[in-house]
Amino acid sequence: MATGQTDANGNVSFSSVTSGSHSLTVAKQPYNSYSGTVNVTYDGQRFTVTLTMPTPTTYTITIHVQDEAGAALQSATVDLG
Amino acid sequence: MPTGIPAPQFQITMFWVKWIENGTVKQAWDMLASVGSPGHNAPIQIPAWTSAVGSYNLQVEVTVKNLTGQTLDLKLRVQVCPRNTSGLPPLPIPPCGQLLDSPADIHIGSGFTWILPIWQLQMWSESIDLHLEVVDAVDQTVYNCIVPYYDNAGYRADDFYVPIDVKSGPDTFNITVHVQDQQSVAVQGASVNLS
């Protein structure tokens, strides 16, 4: 296994890679990790990996406000940070 | 034949490669490919001129032609990789397609046809690389493909014969992995593992 980190231009080079199929994984926060296969067939070959951002998960919630007796409070101001 | 080049053992004739959009053949290429030696293999680059984002099919038929009488049990393997050759502002380039194998019973004189889906070719200026390998179905030796002749003038590919050199072992190459985000901005500090 060969490991490297990309430079300022997003490139990392590997030498003495045998021809054929290789597994390629790329990780960088906060992007989604990439896992795939590359087929090395000639010298100087260049592979481009596009990292995607995770899709934020959103939910619908309800805040119920009541007094100590359990009676609903109308017109209470609710702030959700 | 130049001194030192082994006699050809077998040749792959790529009769045609067809670019198909919505079932219509938009363009076809005649090509001649042969099994390559280290340092000489290269992908087949096919110009594309698609003007819109979309999904397209590339139909490939490969026929193996025997030049010496040697019998081999082969399978063929192809992979398509999009490439932006325009120099224009880059768009996200899709990853290479899957490696697709033919059945492992291709014999000299026979061939195989693939329908290769090409995803999201986004610009008229993009090209695709067609990687073609020949695998000895007995010992699994992989022979890479070279393209000594590109017929753009309507000649039949099998009118041309090119000496080939069968490599004896695995090659090693230098490769570069480029990592970018969805806006094609280079990503620095990404951890890349190759195995």
Looking at the domain assignment, is residue A12 inside a domain?
A: yes
Looking at the domain assignment, is residue B121 inside a domain?
A: yes
Q: Which residue bears the tokens 């594309």?
A: B48
Looking at the domain assignment, is residue B184 inside a domain?
A: no
Encode pLDDT of B100-110 as tens digits: 787 777 665 66
Residue B55 CB-density burial (10 A; 0-12 exposed, 13-18 middle, 19+ buried): exposed
Look over chain B and give the mean of its residue pLDDT values, rounded to a whole number. Answer: 58
In sequence order, which residues have a C-beta less than 8 Å from that of residue B75 and are 6 or more positions away?
B101, B102, B103, B104, B105, B106, B134, B135, B137
C-alpha distance from B52 to closest chain A C-alpha (Å): 21
Taking only residues 15 to 54 of chain A, the set having a beta carbon closer than 8 angstroms to any beta carbon of chain B reads 15-28, 31, 36-53
Residues in chain B whose beta carbon is closer than 8 A to a beta carbon of chain A? 39, 41-43, 79, 92-93, 95-96, 99, 131, 133, 142, 144-145, 170-182, 184-195
C-alpha distance from A12 to closest chain B C-alpha (Å): 5
**If pLDDT is split at 50, 70 and 90, which confidence band does B147 have?**
very low
**pLDDT of B99 above 80:** no
Percent of residues, chain B, with pLDDT higher than 70: 18
CA gap A50, A44 in Å, rounded: 19
Our count of domains for chain B comes to: 1
Looking at the domain assignment, is residue A4 inside a domain?
A: yes
- Quote the distance between the C-alpha of residue B123 and its chain's center: 20
Cβ contact, residue pair B192, A24, below 8 Å = yes
- The confidence score (pLDDT) of residue B160 equals 28
Looking at the domain assignment, is residue B21 inside a domain?
A: yes
DSSP states of A3-38: EEE--TTSEEEEEEEESEEEEEEEE-TTSPPEEEEE
Per CB-CB distance under 8 Å, the chain A contacts of B186 are 6, 8-11
C-alpha distance from A65 to closest chain B C-alpha (Å): 43
**If pLDDT is split at 50, 70 and 90, which confidence band does B98 have?**
confident
Q: Give the pair of three-digit tokens for residue A55.
A: 């899709």
Encode pLDDT of B115-142 as tens digits: 666 544 443 344 566 666 667 666 666 6
Looking at the domain assignment, is residue A67 inside a domain?
A: yes
Looking at the domain assignment, is residue B173 inside a domain?
A: no
CA gap A69, B63 in Å, rounded: 84
**If pLDDT is split at 50, 70 and 90, which confidence band does B159 have?**
very low
Average pLDDT over residues B143-166: 37
In sequence order, which residues have a C-beta less than 8 Å from that of residue B17 and are 6 or more positions away?
B28, B29, B31, B44, B46, B58, B59, B60, B61, B130
Looking at the domain assignment, is residue B34 inside a domain?
A: yes
Closest to B173 measured CA to CA, from A2, A58, A9, A42: A42
Region for B4 from its dihedrals, namely left if φ exceeds 0, alpha if ψ lies in -120 to 50, beta otherwise: left
- Of A36-45, B20-29, B174-183, least confident by mean pLDDT is B20-29
CA gap A2, A14 in Å, rounded: 7
**If pLDDT is split at 50, 70 and 90, which confidence band does A70 have?**
very high
Our count of domains for chain A comes to: 1
**pLDDT of B89 above 60:** no
Q: Which residue bears the tokens 């596009």?
A: A50
Q: Write the CA distances from B7 to A47, B31, B50, B169, integer angstroms.
A: 34, 21, 41, 18
- Of A58-72, B98-112, B175-189, least confident by mean pLDDT is B98-112
Q: What is the CATH number of the domain that holds B67?
A: 2.60.40
Q: Select the residue of B79, B170, B182 nearest A18 (Cβ to Cβ).
A: B170
**pLDDT of A49 above 80:** yes
Give first-to-last CA distance, chain A, whole Å: 45
- Is B56 in contact with B97 (CB distance < 8 Å)? no
Q: Give the pair of three-digit tokens for residue B91.
A: 């768009």
Looking at the domain assignment, is residue A79 inside a domain?
A: no
- Of A1-15, A31-45, B145-159, least confident by mean pLDDT is B145-159
Looking at the domain assignment, is residue A78 inside a domain?
A: no
Looking at the domain assignment, is residue B96 inside a domain?
A: yes
Q: Which residue has the higher pLDDT, B189 or B131?
A: B189
Interface mutation target, options A9, A31, A48, chain B, most CBs of B under 10 Å? A48
- The confidence score (pLDDT) of residue B177 equals 93
Looking at the domain assignment, is residue A80 inside a domain?
A: no
Task: Return the residue of A nearest to B192 by Cα.
Answer: A26
Encode pLDDT of B67-87 as tens digits: 444 445 667 777 666 655 555
Assembly ipTM: 0.74
Give residue B71's domain range: 10-159
Encode pLDDT of B24-72 as tens digits: 666 665 555 554 433 333 445 555 544 444 555 666 666 665 444 444 5
Give residue A42's domain range: 1-71
CA gap B111, B74 in Å, rounded: 10
Looking at the domain assignment, is residue A60 inside a domain?
A: yes
